[in-house]
Structure 1
């Protein structure tokens, strides 16, 4: 059952309400739709979490929480899914985003060596920045749409299977 599996991995409601980083959302956190887990809220949370995981910004959890509140989907699940891009996976994810961006723009993959200076950072952004940002946006959209439909289909399959077992 996807509901029981998902509930094992998402953070507890009390922990998120007590989080100092989410306190500024105030009374919006008391909306019961943000904490209810059903097919619509889980699929929407997957879409938001996967999209934000590909955004190359710090504070992805806050962005995911704001989007979950705005779209009224499961907040803990959308915040937890952001951790797909963690310190171990982020180099591979961002390199894949860069490759997708260069493929879309028709650019060759740059052989770049990072210099830890301000000038080196400016050169990095000018060289690989547009392809990387475009690849991040495209991957975020594609993976969020795929995640939405996959969770929706998995949830429906699970419900059908449960009803068949009852008969």
Structure 2
């Protein structure tokens, strides 16, 4: 069943609470609800971890832990999903996010002239110690696209987890029925 699958590879609460990041949150990370393995806890944890994990933010693990502590869902599953954004997935995540943002704002995708213009603005801003103008219209498009992408993928994985859990239980009952 799905419950045994998740329990088989989850670390113990003591191991997680000994991590440097978790020492900041103290004894709250030992709450039994954060380690409970059931359909609702795992699927909500996957939603939270996927949402924050898809956003290329610094220290998104802290945001995951804060959200998990608020909603009291499975902590290790959410933290594992923090690694969705890594050097191999960052470019596709940014591209899909910008594409979604461009669709919402009904603008064309970025071209070489736009990239060179933005890089020129950023280099001018840096060389003049923060004085100058940076066009944030591209950042607005990218930010909205990234939030939409994170939300879509989080809902998708939430639904897949629920369906997998249900399929697992049905298969377990079918096996039990055939054994008797």
Q: TM-score, normalised by structure 2?
A: 0.83
Q: Superposition pairs for residues 4-153 of structure 1, below 5 Å?
A: 4-7=4-7, 10-111=10-111, 112-113=115-116, 114=119, 117=123, 119=125, 123=134, 126-153=136-163
Distance 1:119 1:10, change over 3 A: farther
* Aligned counterparts of 2:150 and 2:66: Cα–Cα separation in 1: 17
Match of 1:157 in 2: 167
Deviation at 1:6, TM superposition (A): 3.5
Q: TM-score, normalised by structure 1?
A: 0.88
Deviation at 1:92, TM superposition (A): 1.2
* Aligned counterparts of 1:4 and 1:81: Cα–Cα separation in 2: 19
Considering only aligned residues, what root-mean-square deviation do their CA atoms show, in Å? 2.2
**What is the number of equivalent residue pairs in this alignment?**
166
Runs of 4+ aligned residues of structure 1 deviating over 3 Å after TM superposition are 1-12, 113-116, 120-123
**Structure 2, gaps ≥5 residues long:** none
Q: SS of 2:161's equivalent?
A: helix
Give yes or no for contact 1:11–1:77 (8 Å, CA) kept in 2: no
- Superposed CA offset, 1:85-128 (max 9, x none): 112111111111011101111011122134573627963x6142
Deviation at 1:10, TM superposition (A): 4.3
**Structure 1, gaps ≥5 residues long:** none
